[in-house]
Structure formats: structure tokens, C-alpha cells
Amino acid sequence: QEEELPVYLKLGDIRSRAMTLGKVADIYQDRGQPDEALRIHQEDCLPVYLKLGDIRSRAVTLGKIANIYHARGQLDEALHIRQEEELPVYLKLGDIRSRAMTLGKIADIYQARGQLDEALRILQEECLPVFLKLGDIRSRAVTLGKIADIYQARGQLDDALRIRQEEELPVYLKLRARRDVLVCEASIANMLVHRKAAGDREQAVILLNKAHAEATQMKLPEAQQIESFLNELSSESPSSPFPLK
């Protein structure tokens, strides 16, 4: 704010200034100040991209606005932006990856609204084939994780576990994506606890301890969530899943 922005203002480089303001908004969002983040996106960034005719940057900014609405629980507003304003841009540009990523976020909204069948259809029919075609194995694994979440919400724990253990986790291990691995293992542990088959609880504790050690070493916020779940496990059976994303 104090060093970079004044340079672009002095140079009259309104695009670079808008891009930097967008990153400032991201910081406000991360700090839990969504109102200020939203104001910057709407008042400082969008008008510039509209003036410049930069439809991609405008779509990206609209996506960030949709993220804020989603986090606030304003799902109808978020869905409208995704479907009516952001998605058509990527279709026009022929950007199949950004379109698939946006469709995945639309599926998240449907899931949050309890429309699990539509969320599942989008992920399976519109997202997975694109990531497979592009060879984007990480995005495909993330999408499989979302499908597992839906199966878990439906009570299909065996199906959810199979996806996590056989399709999602191996990708993160191959990529050596430590955070993704620990989050996935914690999710597997959560499913084991709620399935309640013989040996599930013991295996869950092993996975959670491993994930907690990794998260602690990496100084990730997930460490506290996992620790709380372990403490809950030691006292009684947890009543609901804990989502790690």
C-alpha cells in the first residue's frame, strides 16, 4: 500500500494498480476483513478492468467476490455471479481449465444448499473429464475429494473411503504435497471414526497423530483442529465431521 501502489499511481499504470489492489484485498480477506476486501474488489478493481476491456481479470475479480459471498452464506448471490458473469467469460475465451475450476465452485454452492445430486453431477460429468484431459492430476484429486465429501454426506462411507484412500491420497503422495496429504489423511480418519467398523477407531487415531505431527511441524492452522478432534476422540465419539480444506 505504501510503496508499490504510489509508483503505479505516479506512472498512470491503472492496470498494475488494480492488480496490486486486488492482492491487498486478498490480504484483508485472509485477515478476516471481508467487508474491506469486497469494497476494494467492487469499487477499485472491477471498474478499471471494465474500462480496459480486460474481461479475464474482471472474471477473476468476480470470482473473488463470489468467494466472499459464499463465505458469508450469501449462496444465491455467489451462484448468480459464478453462473451468469464468471463462467460465460471462460467459455468465450476457450479457457476450459478455468471453466472447470469455476464449475467446481458452483458444485460447492449446490452442496452447501443441500443439492447433492446436482453437485455430484457437475463434479463427475463436467469437472473430472477436463482435468483428466489436461493431465492436471492435482485438480482431479481435489475434485475426487469433493465427490468423497458428498458420498460421506449421504452416508456412503465405504464409497467415500475408497476414493480417499485409492484415488485421492496416492496423488498427493506422488506430488509430495505434504499439506494435502495430512488433510486427506485427517479426512480419512474422520470417516473411519464415523463408520465404526472393527479397528476403525484405532486406525483413525494413528492417522490423526501422524497428521497432527506434520501440521505442527509445518506450523499449519490445521494442527489445532486435529488436536481438538483427538481430544474429543479420547473422551467420546464425535457427533459430526470436521472439515479440513
User: What is the model's pLDDT at position 235?
Assistant: 76
User: What is the model's pLDDT at position 154?
Assistant: 95
Confidence label for 233 from pLDDT (cuts 50, 70 and 90): confident
pLDDT at 218 over 80: yes
Element (H, E) at 183: helix 178-195
pLDDT at 92 over 90: yes
Residue 17 is given by DSSP the state H
Q: Whose CA is closest to 161, among 179, 139, 144, 178? A: 144
Sign for the CA dihedral angle at 178, 136, 169, 70 comes to positive
Longest CA–CA separation in the chain, Å: 68
What gap in Å lies between CA 145 and CA 161, rounded to an integer?
A: 10
Confidence label for 79 from pLDDT (cuts 50, 70 and 90): very high
pLDDT at 243 over 70: no
Across residues 185-198, what is the average pLDDT? 94
Q: Average pLDDT, whole number, for the chain?
A: 93
User: What is the model's pLDDT at position 14?
Assistant: 87
CA atoms within 13 A on the CB side of 192: 20
Which 3 state secondary structure label does DSSP give 53? coil
Residue bearing cell 491503472: 14
Q: Whose CA is closest to 173, among 158, 188, 160? A: 188
Across residues 56-71, what is the average pLDDT? 97
User: What is the model's pLDDT at position 4?
Assistant: 65
Confidence label for 6 from pLDDT (cuts 50, 70 and 90): confident
